[in-house]
Structure 1
Amino acid sequence: MTPLKPWVLSIVVVLAGIVGLAVNAYAQRASMPTPVLPLSALASMGVIAAVTLVLGFRVLRWRTGHRKRMLDPIFAARTLVLGHACAYAGAVLLGWHAGVIADQIPFLSSRADNPVVLQALGMMAGGVVMVTIGFIVERFCRIPPEDGDDAEGASGRDVAGGGRAPDAEGGLA
């Protein structure tokens, strides 16, 4: 599995921000409510982030030598995928709510007690936390190169992936 790339997540944030800005502008013109998740959504985001982090710590403990039994490679792969999903979901939430705030800027002076901005700021903070946890868990799932491995083939492997994938003929790609 390829590692998370900050530039890809940045593109996701920008695209989600543009869509959030456009949808909020349409909602304002149509006299609809602002499309922001309520602050109660932070609880579910927190649960997702906590579960991802706990599973990442289990992989990290195995990796650092606290091994009572063999680590299930499927568990490690699922943990890595969950970390990636957490990072991408956080990037989407961060971008969407940043776009909503960008569209609300002209109205901030007229509505000083605007709860939508506070909700959006809270969701943006939750998105940053989710992206951070995604990067942390990905780091937990990396295994160090073994003594006998060459530097090129062993670097960047994760616990779940084990290096490069075989191609159609059975050789390494």
Structure 2
Amino acid sequence: MKPINPLRLVLIGTILAVAGWSATVITSRYSVATPVLPATALATMGVIVAITLILGIRVLRWRNSVKPNSTAKKTMLDPLLAARTLVLAQACAYAGTVLLGWHVGIFLDQLRIWSLRSDQGITWLALAMAGGGLVMIVVGLLVERFCRIPPEDGDAKGVDGKPGRAVRGETAGEGEYAYRGD
């Protein structure tokens, strides 16, 4: 699985900021409610962030549990759990990008009429949602980093012949996907 490209996140966020701004302009022109998520969505975002962080810390603890030169055996981490944690982290980062972009667009539209409105609740809600999206992005990228196994020093040769991780298909035995042996 490839790591998240930050440029892709910026592109998605920019496109959705324009879409959020456009949707707000259109809805205000036709006197329809502003398309912002309700405040209860912050609680849902918090739960997603907490679960992602807990699973990421679990993978990080496994990764850092034994020093590379130690002779102690490392307990096996379920490879499916590690893969699911990585997918959850990436999904969290992408969902946060969508929420951040959309609500930044809404916030920017609401900001231009800030002084004309007596009720700025929508503006503050859009800003809170954008902040929640930013937290989701940061936690997603952080947990993705937790799931990365650093290259090992050893006899394995990398793609270009330098020391590093073995090329796909050159593993010595069962279980080496999530277990760095003796």
Q: Distance in 2 between matches of 1:131 and 1:139?
A: 12
Q: TM-score, normalised by structure 1?
A: 0.85
Q: Distance in 2 between matches of 1:53 and 1:164?
A: 29
Q: How many residues align?
A: 161
CA contact (8 A) 2:96 2:136 kept: yes
1:15 corresponds to: 15
The secondary structure found in structure 2 opposite 1:109 is helix
In the TM superposition, 1:71-90 aligns within 5 A as 71-90=77-96
Q: CA RMSD in A?
A: 2.3
Residues 23 and 163 of structure 1: is their aligned pair in 2 closer, same or farther, counting only changes over 3 Å? Answer: farther
Q: TM-score, normalised by structure 2?
A: 0.81
The gaps in structure 1 that reach 5 residues or longer are: 167-173
- Which residue identity lines up with residue 76 of structure 1 in the other structure? A
Residues 29 and 144 of structure 1: is their aligned pair in 2 closer, same or farther, counting only changes over 3 Å? Answer: same
- Which residue identity lines up with residue 19 of structure 1 in the other structure? A
Q: Percent identity?
A: 51
2:29 corresponds to: 29
Q: Distance in 2 between matches of 1:145 and 1:42?
A: 38
| Larger Rg over CA atoms | 2
Q: Distance in 2 between matches of 1:150 and 1:109?
A: 64
CA contact (8 A) 2:59 2:146 kept: yes
1:6 corresponds to: 6
The gaps in structure 2 that reach 5 residues or longer are: 67-72, 171-182
Runs of 4+ in 1 over 3 A off after TM superposition: 66-69, 149-155, 162-166
CA contact (8 A) 1:12 1:92 kept: yes
Give a deviation string over 1:52-105, Cα, whole Å, max 9, x none. 000001111111126873111111011000000000000000000011112222
